[in-house]
Amino acid sequence: MVLNELWAALSSASEAVLACCFVAAAVALRWFGGRKARARARGAAARARRKQQAGLESMHKAAQRFRLQNPGLDSEALLALTLPQLVQKLHNGELSQQAVLFTYLGKAWEVNKETNCVTTYLADCETQLSQAPRQGLLYGVPVSLKECFSYQGQDSTLGLSLNEGVPAECDSMMVQVLKLQGAVPFVHTNVPQCMFSYDCSNPLFGRTTNPWNCFKSPGGSSGGEGALIAAGGSLLGLGTDLGGSIRFPSSFCGICGLKPTANHLSKTGLKDCMYGQMAVHISVGPMARDVESLALCLALLCEDMFRLDPIVPPLPFREEVYASSRPLRVGYYETDNYTMPTPAMKRAVLETKQRLEAAGHTLIPFLPRNIPYVLETLSIGGIFSDGGSSFLQNFKGNLMDPCLGNLMLVLKLPGWLKGLLAFLLKPLLPTLAAILNNLKSRSTGKLWELHHEIKVYRNSVIAQWRALDLDVLLTPMLSPAMDMNAAGNALGAVGYTILYNCLDFPAGVVPVTTVTIEDEAQMEHYRGYFGDSWDKVLWKAMMKSVGLPVAVQCVALPWQEELCLRFMREVEQLMTPEKRPF
């Protein structure tokens, strides 16, 4: 009996030891696996940087070679031309496309030295010059591309090591249309990791800085485009916008940008990290130094779009709407009552309102209903309806960039813990609690309900709009530029922009003023509406901003891009902020 008990005890002990060994082995394998994955990610980053530097060196040599062969070329005069002026000079032969391309290559290289905005030199742009159709309306115009636009033979990494060394098999549809119009895509520009931040940094290519102030962010996720265009390294660029990704960089860098209705320009061939997310729509749109360039780009791209991509509706650009001078009925609001506008933001809206009224337009107070519900439930809840699992898949074996802030930590929490934290935090941090609650995974039935709620909300805002017989809407735009790494810890501030992704209304950004000493002094008293951590981050991140650009947002109803652009042009002509010569 004693022997049996002893044997049973030994057996139990053996099983326990064996179990411990299995657990230890699993932990060790996971640790070694993670270590190997991190090593692979670091290797991918090193390769990406080497390719980036080799491309930049080729770019610099090409520009230098042309400059030596053409010492009489007035580069400064060429770079000062607007897009319509440049197009005209290229078509009438006053400028050669070689002179234009190599001048912009040289300027882009200089800008990149200061901002780190270029990820890839699209070297076949040199051979493309001989292939560009002379009848193309963008004949010879260099165009920069956000890195997510697939370009044959080049990586679109989105700052993720898993995409490094995976070149595109063909051009995205937008690149094809640009080439048909005679344009010459010449660089890819930097993005935040996964394109899910309104900052601009990733482990592969590093941080892009704002050309106005190297300690400030250029915005995101089209941040490389914003920096390059603002500093004169590109005349025209293409970006994408899911929650403000064209509008934030345009605002922070002092340029113009348009987020069209979601399906106005083709998204075929875009690299993404959250395929299948349909609650909040992504848009492709142009970015440029002035509104006229945006309008010209949109008008020209529409011609070939439907023929190449039948999913895009065949809508010609309505020049008569864009060129109209009839007085407008303009809705406006000074705040969304969720993110308190900075003093400069509020002043920008009020000064623009006054100028518009003086020009004969009618300004009417208008605020879409229930903006917190749109941000917390419809938008963030819609984007992360799977609890963030699709988004997190991109980071297996990847290094994580600090620009994403606490988002990754929160997404990794199990659903029950997100719910518990939301319950506990609600009395103290109601905005954070509401967003935490909406980061839980939804069932298929709940997702369909959410899609229906978005449709109902959109119809209610359109009815509210039409009841006042509005043409367009003037709103604040988050500005000035924030400090580095602040955006990831101030998610609630996307409310001014993501509202119009959820509604799928066209929305554009126009710079109208700069931060004054008085604005900065008033900012000392900024506390936000909730006094929570997000408000404190926003306050700190927007200090030390005197002289930085401040923008407003112009909005129209779906498929009214020409009217939106016409309103943007009106604002641009009435408001003349100081242009910084970089």
Q: Tokens 């941090």 label which residue?
A: 429
**Residues annotated as part of the active site:** 146, 221, 245
Show Cβ contacts of residue 538 under 8 Å, excluding neighbours closer than 6 positions. Answer: 339, 482, 486, 490, 493, 526, 528
Beta bridge partners of 152: 168
Give the pairing of strands 362-365 and 472-476.
Answer: unpaired
| Peptide bond just before 480 cis, omega within 30 deg | yes
CB atoms within 10 A of CB 356: 22
User: Is 283:192 a contact under the CB 8 Å cutoff?
Assistant: no
**Read out DSSP for 388-403?**
THHHHHTTTT----GG
Residue type, 448: W
Q: How far apart are CA 16 and CA 183, in angstroms?
A: 70
Helix (H) or strand (E) holding 201: strand 201-202
C-alpha 300, offset from chain centre: 23
Where are the alpha helices (H) located in 80-162, listed in sequence order? Answer: 83-91, 97-115, 125-131
> What token pair was written down for 555?
């909005």
In whole angstroms, what is the distance from residue 188 CA to residue 108 CA? 11
Q: Give yes or no for a cis peptide into 221 (omega within 30° of 0).
A: yes
Measure the CA–CA gap between 126 and 556, rounded to whole angstroms. Answer: 39
Residue 242 in tokens? 């899911």
Residue 81: CA count within 13 A, CB half-sphere: 20
For residues 480-506, one letter each, b for 16 or more C-beta atoms within 10 angstroms of the residue's C-beta and e for the rest, the string is: bbbbbbbbbbbbbbbbbbbbbbbbbbb
C-alpha dihedral, 411 to 417 to 423 to 426, nearest 10°:
-30
